């Protein structure tokens, strides 16, 4: 009797804490779901916010192509745990096995699920410079990711591609699907985009963000990104699967990404070359109307400008 009472008391004391935890964890649990882009080509659009246990680190876009004998998966997720969630989303569309995984880049959620799929028989493909960056950043990424997804990282092994393609551009055919693989070096060195000419689809990797503003990191290169975007415009794909944000067309990609690269280079880069004051420059270009509706604008725009300024100051 006494022990029951004690237990009850303990639960009563815990209750407010549980309520608090529930309030903090009000982010909905994200379950990846495939959407058809065009015949046999699918996208999995992740949420726009930060990595979390609720989204399993899948805060990016993925894709897959159903071929005659299997599935080509584009990007493998942030861990073995999240790779299994992507696997399930593919299985809801087709019973065919994932036989090929292509990494568009080296950010954690693009490749830390490789090992999960390799263990199930998939070949892992990437371009040479992507692999190089993956090797350089893997330990740091696993540590960083643990802060966001905790226990979900258990059992994840950083496995690089076993099929490495020469940069900067590679044409290949997988199970009859033609692929043009193009290096962009936009967000991370060795970033790439994957063009499917027959379907007129480009999986842009982290070259293109829509609905949310892109992030310029210390390892990003806006000049290379601008060139990458110009290449995308030459391709003129009917469908654009961006690195983040909804499946879209070239016009939205241009408005929300291509124009932003141009804006940063034309204004902030030019001011740095001109040896203007950094503070005045960042204030002057703080409120570009055409980009302010994008999610994460208030957190990222100023740091983005700051990095571009510093970059152009060092490399005018």
| Interacting residue ranges for Zn ion, rule: CB under 5 A | 60, 206, 243
CB of 274 to Zn ion, least distance (A): 31
CB of 209 to Zn ion, least distance (A): 8
CB of 316 to Zn ion, least distance (A): 28
Is 250 in a helix, a strand, or coil? helix
Phi, psi of 97 (to 5 degrees): -75, 150
Distance separating alpha carbons of residues 89 and 76, to the nearest angstrom: 12
By C-beta, is 207 or 268 nearer to Zn ion?
207
For residue 168, give the DSSP letter: S
Contact 107, 80 (CB under 8 A): no
By C-beta, is 60 or 66 nearer to Zn ion?
60
CB of 243 to Zn ion, least distance (A): 5
- Cβ-closest position to Zn ion: 206
CA angle 5, 9, 10 (to 5 degrees): 120
Distance separating alpha carbons of residues 278 and 200, to the nearest angstrom: 42
By C-beta, is 60 or 72 nearer to Zn ion?
60
Beta bridge partners of 189: none
By C-beta, is 60 or 179 nearer to Zn ion?
60
Residue at token pair 């391709």? 235
By C-beta, is 177 or 182 nearer to Zn ion?
182
Beta bridge partners of 244: 209
CB of 33 to Zn ion, least distance (A): 19
Query: Which of 285, 204, 216, 279 minimizes the C-alpha distance to 248?
Result: 204
By C-beta, is 40 or 206 nearer to Zn ion?
206
CB of 65 to Zn ion, least distance (A): 21
- The two tokens of residue 40 are 């046999």
By C-beta, is 121 or 144 nearer to Zn ion?
144
- The answer for 72, left when phi > 0, alpha when psi is -120 to 50, beta otherwise, is beta
In sequence order, the 6+-apart residues with CB closer than 8 A to the CB of 3 are: none
CB of 5 to Zn ion, least distance (A): 53
């Amino acid at each position: 009797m006494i022990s029951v009472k004690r237990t009850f008391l303990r639960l009563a004391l815990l209750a407010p804490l549980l309520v608090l935890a529930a309030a903090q964890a009000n982010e909905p649990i994200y379950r990846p779901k495939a959407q058809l882009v065009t015949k046999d080509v699918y996208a999995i659009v992740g949420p726009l916010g930060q990595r979390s246990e609720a989204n399993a680190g899948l805060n990016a876009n993925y894709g897959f192509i159903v071929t005659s004998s299997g599935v080509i998966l584009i990007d493998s997720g942030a861990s073995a745990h999240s790779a299994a969630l992507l696997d399930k989303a593919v299985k809801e569309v087709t019973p065919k096995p994932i036989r090929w995984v292509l990494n568009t880049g080296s950010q954690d959620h693009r490749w830390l699920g490789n090992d999960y799929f390799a263990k199930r028989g998939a070949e892992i493909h990437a371009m040479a410079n992507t692999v190089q960056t993956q090797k350089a950043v893997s330990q740091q990424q696993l540590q960083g990711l643990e802060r966001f997804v905790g226990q979900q990282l258990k059992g994840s092994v950083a496995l690089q591609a076993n099929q490495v393609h020469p940069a900067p551009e590679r044409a290949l055919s997988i199970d009859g699907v033609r692929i043009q693989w193009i290096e962009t070096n936009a967000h991370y060195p060795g970033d790439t985009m994957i063009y499917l000419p027959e379907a007129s689809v480009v999986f842009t990797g982290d070259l293109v963000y829509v609905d949310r503003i892109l992030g310029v990191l210390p390892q990003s290169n806006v000049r290379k990104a601008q060139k990458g975007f110009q290449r995308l415009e030459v391709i003129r794909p009917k469908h654009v699967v961006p690195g983040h944000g909804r499946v879209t067309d070239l016009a939205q990609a241009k408005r929300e990404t291509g124009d932003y690269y141009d804006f940063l280079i034309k204004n902030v880069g030019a001011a740095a070359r001109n040896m203007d004051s950094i503070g005045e420059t960042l204030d002057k270009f703080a409120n570009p109307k055409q980009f302010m509706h994008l999610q994460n604008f208030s957190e990222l725009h100023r740091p983005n400008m700051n990095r571009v300024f510093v970059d152009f100051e060092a490399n005018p």
